[in-house]
Amino acid sequence: MAYIVHTLSRADWQSFQETGEHRPDSLATEGFVHCSKPGQIVIVADINHATDDDMMLLVLDESKLDSPVRYESGDDGSSAFPHVYGPLSLDSVVDSFQFKQDETGYRLPDELLRY
């Protein structure tokens, strides 16, 4: 199985659990949902969510997503990141964690190591 991760606020996670799907703003503006491989997420979160509190980290099973996943690199030739071209389905979420920061930035939850 291939696992990817997605970050979102606790409020968005609660809404996702209630509705069964997640449609972040990027789906409307860019056409896809930003995700990462577990080894990429700390750098991304430190850049994009440094001032955000109360973030969640979702582990998604790619094979359970209803929408296609494409690994694409940025215009600068950076590492390829998984982009999901459609809403995330609750059935694809295999685990969730509080995504905490310390004085140096985000830290992967130890439990994520099993993925």
pLDDT in tens, 77-96: 678 999 999 999 999 999 99
Structure tokens at 27: 């789906």
* In the predicted structure, residue 74 carries a pLDDT above the cut 80: no
| CATH, range 3-104 | 3.20.170.20
* In the predicted structure, residue 8 carries a pLDDT above the cut 90: yes
pTM: 0.90
pLDDT in tens, 42-55: 988 988 888 888 89
Of 106 and 16, the structure prediction assigns the larger pLDDT to: 16
* In the predicted structure, residue 33 carries a pLDDT above the cut 70: yes
Cα 94 from chain centre = 12
Over residues 19-25, mean pLDDT: 96
- Contact between residue 47 and residue 92 where contact means Cβ atoms under 8 Å apart: no
